[in-house]
Amino acid sequence: MKIVDVRAMTCDVPVPRPIIMGDLRYNTRDYVVVEITTDEGLSGFGWGMARYAPVAEVIERNLKPLLIGEDPLLNEHLWDRLYYLNLLIAQRGIYMRALSVVDIALWDLKGKAAGLPVWKLLGGHRRRMPVLMAGGYVAADRDVRALRDEVANYAKRGFRLIKIAAGELATDTERLRVAREAAGDAKLMYDAHWGWRDPQAALRVVRGWADLDLAWIEDPFPSEHLAQLARFRQRSTIPLAIGEDITGRWAFQRILDDDLADTLRVDVTNCGGFTEALKICALAAARGVPVSPHVYPEIHVHLAAALPIVAHVEMTDPPQGIEAMHRLMASTLEIRDGMADAPDRPGLGFEPDRAALKEFRR
């Protein structure tokens, strides 16, 4: 079997209200979708967020020429080939997003060729796993009462893991107290979205959260600010979850070696695909550090079903309009009582809706 074509496109999908994450603001969600086809008629899909960067163009220019004519089932060979022959641009960012979605498509294709779901190829650990519901995003028309109702709704629907997004640090104590009450006995997390800069200023607020029983604070500082992260960690008693924007096993190894995280946040669509995520999860497992995947439940259900170190799947609630990938999919992961079942269909088990891709293609 040989690869005969690689096609990448970017889709812009409108969201019902602006998405605000600290200083970041999004009016659409943009996704890169790649399809890899073979001379035997099989094809594999991969997808991820483009973040308004030319990810599709990198796939076409830097990756496609290295894939044509290759055996798509040689995942490790192809990962090394794509990484090291683009080493000067391969460390972070746009290139790793491109490599990740290509790798996802190759695993989808491999599963279809084998007649097995990806999670069984990756390892095979469990069929059913908990879902972390990420919500509580700030918006001009949403006050603390709306936050209370949203979190209470998640708890009522059976979600035992609930995460709320940061607003302004000065006002988030009130928001967290409201969310804590509404969540009942569910675990509560807080996502700072890399918005903090001053550890001392953050600590003055966070020390007032000791009674909230937060499962973690996520990404408080930009990933490059390791010194600030270390100072904060030394003086805070709340666990930290770090890593959804980090790429490659080497960066994760430093986080683990410096003991900067209680939970690793891993995004297969960004870190280097399934091939690299397996290595990152192995590093975490060797140290007993749990892994929490970043959204994309149709992709990350395979990582959580494959490996015992992966604690759960994460998603956002479609009616909240935080993510929009479901609008590009022919089917999505089914959630019941806060739990997800691993798919039995070959490959990823989910296909894009070609009509939707055409509608939203940039």
C-alpha 182/C-alpha 310 separation (Å) is 27
Give dist(CA 44, CA 99) in Å, integer.
14
Residue 106 has pLDDT above 70, yes or no: yes
Residue 112 has pLDDT above 80, yes or no: yes
Domain harbouring 320, CATH code: 3.20.20.120
328 within 8 A of 13, measured Cβ to Cβ: yes
**Burial class of residue 118, CB neighbours in 10 A (0-12, 13-18, 19+):** buried
Asked if residue 151 and residue 87 are part of one domain, the reply reads no
Give the length of the chain. 362
Determine what percent of the chain falls in helix, strand and coil, rounding each to the nearest 5. 45, 25, 30
Q: How far apart are CA 359 and CA 14, in angstroms?
A: 12
Q: Provide CB contacts within 8 A for 40, sequence distance 6+.
A: 1
pLDDT exceeds 70 at position 91: no
Mean pLDDT of 277-288: 98
Q: Which residues contact 67 (CB under 8 A, 6 or more apart)?
A: 3, 6, 36, 78, 82, 102
Please check whether residue 347 lies inside any domain of the structure. Answer: no
> What is the secondary structure of 287-328 as a DSSP string?
HT--EEE-S-HHHHHHHHHH-TTB--EEEE-GGGTS--GGGG
Among all chains, which residue has been given the structure tokens 């804590």? 180
Per-residue pLDDT, 159 = 98
Residues 239 and 321 in one domain: yes
Round the average pLDDT of the chain to a whole number and report it: 95
CA–CA gap between residue 250 and residue 257 (Å, rounded): 10
- If asked whether residues 179 and 71 sit together in one domain, one would say no
pLDDT given for residue 362 in this prediction: 86
Assess whether 199 and 100 both reside in one domain: no
Residue 268 near residue 296 (C-beta atoms within 8 A): yes
| Cα–Cα dist 324/309, whole Å | 28
- Per-residue pLDDT for 23 more than 90? no
User: How confident is the model over 196-251, as pLDDT tens digits?
Assistant: 999 999 999 999 999 999 999 999 999 899 999 999 999 999 999 999 999 999 99
User: For residue 139, what pLDDT is reported?
Assistant: 86
pLDDT class of 17 with cuts at 50, 70, 90: confident
Sheet with 24-38, side-by-side order of all strands: 3-21, 24-38, 43-49
Q: Are residues 177 and 312 in the same domain?
A: yes
Same domain, 274 and 186: yes
Question: pLDDT tens digits for 324-358?
Answer: 999 999 999 999 999 999 999 999 999 999 999 99
Q: Please determine, for residue 166, whether its predicted confidence score (pLDDT) is greater than 70.
A: yes
Does residue 109 sit in the same domain as residue 124?
no
φ and ψ of 313, to 5 deg: -110, 150
Half-sphere exposure of 272 (CA within 13 A, CB side): 27
Q: Which domain holds residue 330?
A: 120-341
Considering the domain architecture, whether residues 68 and 126 belong to the same structural domain is answered as no
DSSP state of 175: H
Tokens of 307: 């490996």
Same domain membership, residue 173 and residue 93:
no
Count up the domains in the chain and report the number: 2
Residue 52 sits in the same domain as residue 145: no
Distance between start and end Cα atoms, the chain: 32
More confident residue, 220 or 92: 220
Place of tokens 């094809």: 43
Residue 348 belongs to a domain: no
Q: CB neighbours (10 Å) of residue 231? A: 17
Virtual torsion, Cα 159, 285, 265, 229, nearest 10 deg: 120
C-alpha distances out from residue 293 to 40, 191, 310, Å:
33, 14, 7
β-bridge partners, 28: 14
Indicate the pLDDT class of residue 27, thresholds 50, 70 and 90: confident
CA pair distance 164, 153, nearest whole angstrom: 13
pLDDT of residue 140: 81
Q: Which pLDDT value is given to residue 92?
A: 67
Instruction: State percent of the chain over pLDDT 90.
Output: 91
Q: What amino acid occupies position 24?
A: L
The token pair that represents 246 in the structure block: 């980090």
Residue 346 resides in a domain: no
Whether the pLDDT of residue 90 is over 90: the answer is no
Query: Which residues, including other chains, have CB under 8 Å from residue 319's CB and lie 6 or more apart?
Result: none
Phi and psi of 152, rounded to 5°? -60, -35
Proportion of the chain above pLDDT 70, given as a percent: 99
**289 pLDDT tier (thresholds 50, 70, 90):** very high
Q: Which residues are catalytic?
A: 294
